Amino acid sequence: MALALVTPAVTAQTSPAIDLLRSAPSAHDRARAAESLGRRRPAGARPALEAALADRAPSVCVAAARALESLGDTAATSALNRHVLDPDRHTRDAVMHALRALVRRMSATGAASWTSRPAAVAGAPLPAVGALPVVTPAAVNWRRVQVLITLGSINNTVSTDPTHVAHLREALRHAVSEDDRYAMHPGALPPEMTSRLQHRRARSFSVEGTLSTLREVTAGPTLSARAEVSLILVSEPSHSIEATLSGAATAREGRSTLPNARDPMPRLRIMAIEGAAHGAMRSLETHLLPPAGAHR
C-alpha cells in the first residue's frame, strides 16, 4: 500500500518531458518539452520550467515562460521576476507577459524587484487611520509632474472586508501625492499635461496589484498586524510591464489591560495596509525618477 502511494509521485517527478527539458542536447527538443509541460502540467513541472528560464537558448527560455503562464501557478512569479532584465528581447517579453497574467490572477506571493519596508517595521508610528488627506486635481502643479499614475485593478486575496481594498487604494493615492513630481490621473487632463505626454516630457503608468498578506499576532503583551502588498507598474499606452513592486509593514500596540477596551486589531490592520502601500510606492522613485531636488 505504501508503494502505491509513493510510486505516482516518483513517476511524475521523473517524467520524460522533465528529463528532456533538463538534458536534451537540442534546444528545439528542450523547447518542445517545455511546451509539453505547460499543456500536461505534471507534478514537478514548475521547478523544471523555472530552471529552464536560465537556459542558454532563448527559444527555450521563451517556451518556459509561456509554459509557466499556462500552469497558472502564482508561486512562479518570483522566478519570473529574476529574468525581467534578460538580455534577449523575446525572453523579456515572454517573462513580462507571464508575470502580468499571474499577478492578475490575484497572486498571493511577492513578485517584486524591490521590497520597501516602511518605518512601521522598526516601530515608528504609522499615519493615523482616517488621517490621509484626499488630494484633488486642483492641488496639482502640472508643470512639476513627471509621472502620471492611474489606479487599475486592486485585488484582495486575504480577507472579505471591502474596506481593506478601499484603504489600500486611498493609501496609494496619498503616497502619490507626497511627491509633486507624481500625480493621479484626473480623468480629463489639462492641455499642458497632454502636450507634455505627447512630447515625452512626462510618462504615464497604471498600477494594479494585490493585498497579498494580512495577518495578526496576539501572543504575549503585544498585538500586531502585518500587511504585504504586491503591485505591477504598467507603462501606458503600450501596456507593457515596467516594474514589479512590493511593500510590507507591521503595526504594533501593547495589549490593553482594561476589561472593556475596544479591540485595536481592526485599526492595526488598516495601519499595516497603509504602511505597506507607502513602502511599495516609494520604490517608484528608485525606478522612475532621480531623487527629489536632484539636478534635472
Mean pLDDT in residue range 89-114: 64
The answer to whether residue 258 scores a pLDDT higher than 70 is no
Q: Give the count of alpha carbons within 13 A of 11, CB side only.
A: 6
Domain architecture of the chain: domains with CATH: 2-104 (1.25.10.10), 114-288 (3.30.160.150)
Residues 6+ apart with CB under 8 A from 257: none
Cell numbers at 165, concatenated? 481594498
Q: Which residues pair with 254 in a beta bridge?
A: 222
pLDDT class of 56 with cuts at 50, 70, 90: very high
Q: Determine the distance from the C-alpha atom of residue 9 to the mean position of all C-alpha atoms in its chain, rounded to a whole number.
A: 32
Model confidence at 140, in pLDDT bands (50, 70, 90)?
A: confident
Q: Using alpha carbons, list the distances in angstroms from residue 48 to 14, 34, 61, 64.
A: 10, 9, 12, 9
Mean pLDDT value of segment 8-32: 78
- What's the chain's length in residues? 296
Whether the predicted pLDDT of 195 surpasses 50 = yes
